Structure 1
């Protein structure tokens, strides 16, 4: 539901998003259940306790949220919450969307026709030249280029599209410039393009932040083009996420003798479109319409209760291997609303991890 937030509501939205064990899926379910972040915050301790949490759940204080807001403002950044009309339509169409993003530069670029170009950090000179030229051509055709400010292909894509519009998505905070040698490129993107981050200002990116960053890169884009990627490349994660989100995926073919082509060649083998130039991307985008926000279940004034036996049964069914919520409903032989409520309580206790796409894995409780 699109709505403007008051300062107090935005602060509570931020506090809920930064609460321990509250990821995008749990956040979305809490808002669907309680309607307001403040009501969800008040209910969190009891929900976590019912899920098996022994100690208190860590909820940021109002002062901590105000500090993050002040830190962002000092950088010239803007916080946009998922329910607000300024939130990018492409991200709002994700199920679920990230609860919020920080933005520096021109946020208007996020709602233009967008294409992501990603690839190897240790890229060949030819690969970087191709990425730079592809970004420039797509920019001249009216598209904004999205990438991750990394070395290699990402940097080349940003350089090629700076005159026409580029978006850098960071894993750390909105001020976390990595690698450090991209400080000048970062400054030029802030001045001419847009920088986006889901993390709080001042945060240095760690490994677990990059899948979230990659999900935003894919989510902002109508198509993702992979230029050079080894088998274990993070670019392949971005391509997989794009495919799951219903975006177009293209890959640049390469020599079978170059390890940097193994990932892209495998993407083509799996059905990705071949990209040999801008015309291939434009052809893939023909007929693709705008993004639509998925229907959200109205919040419930009367919450569905899950009993302890059901919660423990579900905890026993979970493992490190992702399983769908529907499969858990069948295995537990319980009503779906009760199963979903129990899974949210387990997630808040750290005993389950709710993933996009309706999947669940066993959590690592503190």
Structure 2
């Protein structure tokens, strides 16, 4: 069930089961999962400690039922997949570097592909014929140069990228490993699963929902040292992937297009905002062959400007909170429905990082906190 690392590092079946159960428990995400493992040492101990940690909520906390996890494991086995845990040797090293890396993924196919140099190719679902042809041809040339092509199995650019790079391709899906989406890519998905590599974060049987696609996009961006956007509208999932790649310190590249075509507006905007303009596959190869972790692209999403500086007020409130013993309340009061970075929360509160992380974990277990793929947190 757990995959191999070496005899001394292999997970026991009991610990592997507990890890899956921990991650599937209510209000547990990648960040809180890692914090709980760090605090308790093992998932077995974390499961035992969850009811007490979650007792501050409005109702008693219950971890995921064992029967539910047993059914999930049966589904993984039945689909010919296997689990891969965040601390196993075959877990992709670049993916492990992002803060919100999935602690557990399910895989079918050649896992070695994820350890090779990767480039993500993404773009519009309703892509133009010219862009689809371009994506297929570029993917073929990039794969022949030794790069594994990562994409999301969507219609349009994604499908063309997979077809052009096969079998050096990785498909990351927003559904369970046993669900084909979109339905018209059922054969392509199965082909990738048997000869390339198919990755899913969601449990088997999970139908894709809107909130799953940004999570899938962070995996696509995290697997690759660079993300290439072929054609995209100004507001699209492809630009989310580009943003996540930029935030992870990876290369962001875009192919320019006609200003008269709305489907090119996203790429043109990316270039204007600092993405590297590429006009032939060799440009991508040169960028990624010499990638050292310091990208040439300067694309980042600007933070929303704030009109009020909370720093002095929060320092005063923190001093009063320490005097009254309400440090947790002071931290919680800094949270709103607008996302804020954890580092910024630590700075504004003046609290010790461990205290802030503990308060956030308590709020998350009680269902009051939302964690965002960019590392921000907000009130539910």
Distance 2:34 2:263 in 1: 38
Distance 1:275 1:97 in 2: 28
Distance 2:45 2:139 in 1: 45
Change in CA separation of 1:104 and 1:308 when aligned onto 2, cut-off 3 Å? farther
Does the CA contact (< 8 Å) of 1:105 and 1:189 recur in 2?
Answer: yes
Instruction: Quote the residue 1:18 is aligned against.
Output: 24
Query: SS state of the match for residue 328, structure 1?
Result: helix
| 2:353 is the counterpart of 1:336 | yes
Runs of 4+ in 1 over 6 A off after TM superposition: none
User: Please, which runs of 5 or more residues in structure 1 have no aligned partner?
Assistant: 292-305
Instruction: Quote the residue 2:116 is aligned against.
Output: 112
| Higher normalized contact order (CA 8 Å, seq sep 6+, divided by chain length) | 1
Report the TM-score when normalising by structure 2. Answer: 0.87
| 2:143 is the counterpart of 1:126 | no
Instruction: Quote the residue 1:361 is aligned against.
Output: 378
Query: SS state of the match for residue 177, structure 1?
Result: coil
Distance 1:96 1:214 in 2: 12
Shift of 1:315: 2.4
User: Which residue among 173, 178, 192 is the counterpart of 2:176?
Assistant: 173
Instruction: Quote the residue 1:7 is aligned against.
Output: 13
Distance 1:335 1:182 in 2: 49
Shift of 1:332: 3.1
Shift of 1:286: 3.2
Instruction: Quote the residue 2:310 is aligned against.
Output: none
Distance 2:263 2:55 in 1: 48
Pick which of 224-233 and 59-68 moved more.
59-68
User: Which residue among 303, 312, 327 is the counterpart of 2:329?
Assistant: 312
Report the TM-score when normalising by structure 1. Answer: 0.90
Distance 1:308 1:240 in 2: 40
Query: SS state of the match for residue 204, structure 2?
Result: coil
Distance 1:28 1:262 in 2: 39
Does the CA contact (< 8 Å) of 1:149 and 1:168 recur in 2?
Answer: yes
Describe the superposition over 1:92-150 as per-residue Cα deviations: whole angstroms up to 9, x where unpaired: 22224211100011111111111110000000000000000000000110111100000
Distance 2:342 2:201 in 1: 26
Change in CA separation of 1:229 and 1:356 when aligned onto 2, cut-off 3 Å? closer
Does the CA contact (< 8 Å) of 2:214 and 2:373 recur in 1?
Answer: no
User: Please, which runs of 5 or more residues in structure 2 have no aligned partner?
Assistant: 295-321
| 2:55 is the counterpart of 1:49 | yes
User: Which residue among 43, 51, 54 is the counterpart of 1:37?
Assistant: 43
Change in CA separation of 1:326 and 1:184 when aligned onto 2, cut-off 3 Å? closer
User: Which residue among 162, 174, 180 is the counterpart of 2:166?
Assistant: 162
Distance 2:344 2:72 in 1: 39
Shift of 1:333: 3.6
Describe the superposition over 1:314-355 as per-residue Cα deviations: whole angstroms up to 9, x where unpaired: 222111212122332343343332222111111111112234
Change in CA separation of 1:361 and 1:166 when aligned onto 2, cut-off 3 Å? same
Describe the superposition over 1:132-175 as per-residue Cα deviations: whole angstroms up to 9, x where unpaired: 00000001101111000000000000110114x11100001012
